[in-house]
Chain A
Amino acid sequence: MSSGPRKKALLKVIILGDSGVGKTSLMNQYVNKRFSNQYKATIGADFLTKDVMIDDRLVTMQIWDTAGQERFQSLGVAFYRGADCCVLAYDVTNSTSFKNLDSWRDEFLIQANPRDPDHFPFVLLGNKMDLEQNRAVSSKRAQTWCQSKNNIPYFEVSAKEALNVESAFQAIARDALARESQDSQDFPDFPDQIRLDPNQNNRQQGGGCNC
């Protein structure tokens, strides 16, 4: 990719998780610094953008909030395409939302179909940590799960109390940025005939032995 004067990076981040875990609230807290107790179901998918500085680079984060209920995704999940990072969210007071993380992750990898799925950046957020007395999933359990998935970074957050939300999204942006710089490897962005890097050509052709 030509890394000429395009200084500002645009990062696409998808938030997935069961209905009611607080995906919209997390996004609203991070982008608008607002929290509402009112529950409004998300239908379809919607994004908000936010400009952030990562080290000395200006980055526009495009954060996609999605409907946790399948029936509200009547057009399918094509918006996973081109994601630079996938944020999995669950509710620490709801063990079912934790158990479903595997299927959300699998669904994402199947639908987004990134190259090298084993190293695609995921981040896990355990929301509603302010409701400690109702906790149903221990930090240990969540961490163990993260380790089993190639060391996914894990944050416990509260959209309501604005706890750890900022730092979690900073980490998300960092992971996504690291990924975006190797964009062309994740998603075939360019027409096949354009090969600017001769080395890459060589590598692809001379990959195997003849036996």
Chain B
Amino acid sequence: MEAMRIDDTNSVEQEKFLETAVKTVKAEAFEMKRSLDKSKRMDALKHASIMLAELRTGLLTPKYYYRLYIDVVNELNHLESFLLDELEKEKKEESIAELYEHVQYAGTIIPRMYLMITVGVVYMKLMPQMRAELLNDLVEMSRGVQHPLRGLFLRHYLLQVTKSLLPDAAEGVEPAIPGSGTVRDTIDFIKLNFSEMNKLWVRQQHQGPSKEREKRERERMELRILVGTNLVRLSQLEHLTQEVYEKEVLPSILEQVVSCRDPISQEYLMECVIQVFADEFHLATLNEFLASCKELAQEVHIKNVLIALIDRLSLYVSNAVGSNIREEIQLFEIFSAQAEGLIQSRSDMPIEDIVSLHTALVSLAVKCYGEKLAYANTVFLSLANNLKDKQVEGIDMYSHAGKELIRVLRVPVDEYKDVLRVALLTDYPRAMLPLNYRGRCTASAFILQNLIDNETGLKSTDDIDAVCSLIECLLSDQPDQPEDAHDSEEFADELNLIASMIHLIKAEDRDVQFLLLNGLRKRLGAGGKWRIRKTLPPIIFSIYELALNYQQSDGDENWDMKVRKMFVCAMGTIGALITTGEMTQLPLNLYLEGAIVANRIKFSENAMVVYEFISKALSVLEDEIADSRERLSALALVTNSVLKVDCLASENWEPLVGQIILAGSKMFKKADQVRTLCSAASLYWKGKVAESEGELRNGNKVTEILKKSAKVAAQCMEPLVQQQLFVHLLNQYYYFYEDGCTVISPDVLSELISRTRDAAIQLEPSREADDIDQHLQHTLQHIRNTKDKYPELAEKLQI
């Protein structure tokens, strides 16, 4: 908070200083241009000099000084452009020489040097033969500015405006214009400028009070690109050959970097070398570069340097199509040895740094040596061992180290896009272990997600084992798992992923498919209450699906036995959902689904299986479901399922239906009894048994049950409910009557109609009464509409 306020007041103050300086710059620049327009060159230079004096300020921090510098440089560009135009027209050699000499009389060194450089550039453009000499002159004269900030910017200006003038002719060949210099002159020029700039930059560290060290380091970090520009210039030289780079340029840069002993400078310049020079150069000088890394100060984060180099070269090598670089240079061996050496030599290296070094190595291994799984595996082994040595465990995935660990684990998953291939990295799971429970689950989850996204088919027990080895923490309770782990959204999401994984089991053979499902069922079955609720149902559905695909024996003499085994397996799995999973509704549905599936497959014991499944569903209803609403809907489901099966013999069918009727008449509410009995009545009408063709159409049984319902309805004390039930009964009766149930007489219908009509008049007016009456009117209308078909009934009812 305190620090922020200081920063804020500082920036307000800085803006003010900058504004004042910029105002002068603008005013003087305006005067300068006006003088130029009037061809008063000396006046123009005088205004330029006053403008440039603003750059002598000691008030501005680097970022604000840079803004001022940019404005000034914009104006100097105009001056340069104008002078060049003018002098080109004059075509007098001595004018430019005179001008170059004239500006050296400027009173103070900052304006003098900027003007010398500006005029020097014009000079070089007019007289290319002077280039080498002038460049040397300017870089030497700039030594006069020893203030770090001002010196750095001045020399940056020198680098910027001479960019297109730097001699770049091949060495040893006489350039087109004698004296215009070769790449050699430029190398010397930049080497000198670079070493001077680095000295200024390093010296800045040691100026001012020690309590401002942090601020100073921040400012130095801001200024680094000015120093780096030297390296950029070198990298832009067309005739800087690999040989010269190898023999001279790089050694001299490295010497400068190592000998300055300044951590900020060392770390930045090493990274800068990696970024600006070409990949081929790096490959040619790998050993020299890495050797220098060892000589850097202890404070340097060498891992940043190493990672930058590995990342860059892996990108290059993986893109270099058809090249032999991979074979020629043992990149992986070199870098893994370097990384290991680094970790061993720096015992205080933070965990996240150790991990991120491995991330770079894994990337190199999988991107450039994809076929050598041993490489990637070695890295994970080394990572696991390093973390074990450091005795770290329970890493939070949102900590620095945790994020890095997740990142390294993702690399082969994202790169291979084949989880089965990841599983071949046998030491990979060991690298997951240092993460805490949630972290490991997250890693396993993205592995599963990748499996699903890429639709990686699981075809053998080995495949399943391979995947399971990577998702261990999702399959069963873990020692470090929090008590309420199952309450989280992540837990549910992860189980959904497992459910999706089950659909990826695609063996080529049906027998194997069953083997795989059954095998996975056993693993998942050990997952405990919360997991199996989500993971076992898809297994059961997959078994049903497989069974349906197994409709024909195809000459397999064990077919009957195999199909039966599937249902036994499904039944046992559903049982686990009830006992361990403590579920009711879903197991009941699964039993019924199983009965319907079994009914469709004509294997020898299908009737037995159907009976077993429906009776188990009824047991669940009896033993486990207490809530009357749930019982009602469960009973409706059972009834519907029994209607759909046709393979049961009456001796088995009867007890099931009897049980349904019994359950119906035991319903707690009278109204529920009436409704379930009415539904059960249809079993005797539409139901089918094995012995007889077609529907049962047992009118006596139907009327018997309907009568029983009517009796229950009559016992109902609430007039509204009773009326509702009788209207329902009327509909049921008429339905069977219409469908040809001759046991129902017109008398019964007529009696029901008059009973409901009378009751309707006696009902107290209400919305419910209106609704019931409307239902009755619709029913009567329907009967009227169909009266022609039933003359006997029409007469009886006199309609």
A: residues with CB less than 8 A from B are: 2, 4-8, 10, 12, 38-44, 46-49, 60, 62, 72-76, 78-79, 81-82, 189-191, 194
Contacts and interface: CB of A to CB of B under 8 A. Distances in A.
B85 A194 contact: no
B17 interface: no
A181 B207 CA distance: 46
Contact of B235 (A40, A78, A190): A40
Contacts of B491: none
B275 A43 contact: yes
Contact of B232 (A46, A47, A49, A81): A46
Given A39-B316, A75-B225, A189-B30, 4 more contacts: A38-B279, A39-B278, A46-B163, A75-B226
Report whether over half of chain A's contact residues are helix, strand or loop; otherwise say mixed: loop
Contacts of B316: 39
B66 interface: yes
A133 to B, nearest CB: 15
Contacts of A72: 225, 275
Nearest to A42: B232
26 contacts: A4-B37, A5-B37, A6-B36, A6-B82, A10-B78, A39-B278, A40-B236, A42-B232, A43-B272, A43-B275, A44-B226, A46-B163, A48-B164, A49-B164, A60-B81, A73-B225, A74-B221, A74-B225, A76-B66, A78-B67, A79-B70, A81-B70, A81-B71, A82-B74, A190-B30, A194-B30
Contacts of B280: 38
A39 B313 CA distance: 11
A22 B74 CA distance: 25
Given A2-B37, A74-B222, A191-B23, A46 B160 contact: yes
Report whether over half of chain B's contact residues are helix, strand or loop; otherwise say mixed: helix
Contacts of A44: 225-226, 228-229, 232
Contacts of A81: 67, 70-71, 74
Nearest to B34: A2
Nearest to A60: B81
A4 B35 CA distance: 11
Contacts, number: 95
A193 to B, nearest CB: 9
B63 interface: yes
Considering the complex of A and B, which 4 residue pairs feature the smallest CB-CB distances, nearest first? Answer: A44-B225, A41-B275, A78-B67, A38-B278
B204 to A, nearest CB: 14
Nearest to B228: A43
Interface residues of B, number: 44
B33 interface: yes
A75 B82 contact: no
A44 B82 CA distance: 27
B67 A47 contact: no
Nearest to A49: B164
A115 B66 CA distance: 22
A82 to B, nearest CB: 5
A74 B223 contact: yes
A167 to B, nearest CB: 23
A76 B63 contact: yes
Interface in B451-490: none
Contacts of B277: 40
Contacts of B78: 10
B62 interface: yes
B507 to A, nearest CB: 37
Interface string B639-655: 00000000000000000
Interface string B264-300: 0000000010011111100000000000000000000
B77 interface: yes
Given A42-B232, A43-B275, A75 B222 contact: yes
Nearest to A81: B70
B748 interface: no
B278 A8 contact: no
Contacts of B164: 48-49
Nearest to A3: B37
Interface string B21-60: 0010011001001101101000000000000000000000
B417 interface: no
Contacts of A47: 160, 163
B276 A40 contact: yes
Contacts of B229: 43-44, 46
B82 to A, nearest CB: 7
B224 interface: yes
Contact of A191 (B26, B163, B225, B272): B26
A158 B63 CA distance: 35
A176 B236 CA distance: 27
A196 B372 CA distance: 75
Which of A2, A12, A74, A76 is packed against the most chain B CB atoms within 10 Å? Answer: A74
A6 B33 CA distance: 9
Contact of B63 (A5, A75, A190): A75
Given A40-B278, A75-B63, A8 B85 contact: yes
A62 B555 CA distance: 84
Interface string B150-161: 000000000010
Nearest to A6: B37
A49 B121 CA distance: 13
Contacts of B222: 74-75
Contacts of A6: 33, 36-37, 82
B307 to A, nearest CB: 14
Contacts of B226: 44, 75
Nearest to A2: B37
A47 B70 CA distance: 12
A12 B275 contact: no
A60 B232 CA distance: 24
Contacts of A48: 163-164
Contacts of B160: 46-47
Interface string B81-117: 1100100000000000000000000000000000000
B794 to A, nearest CB: 72
B166 to A, nearest CB: 12
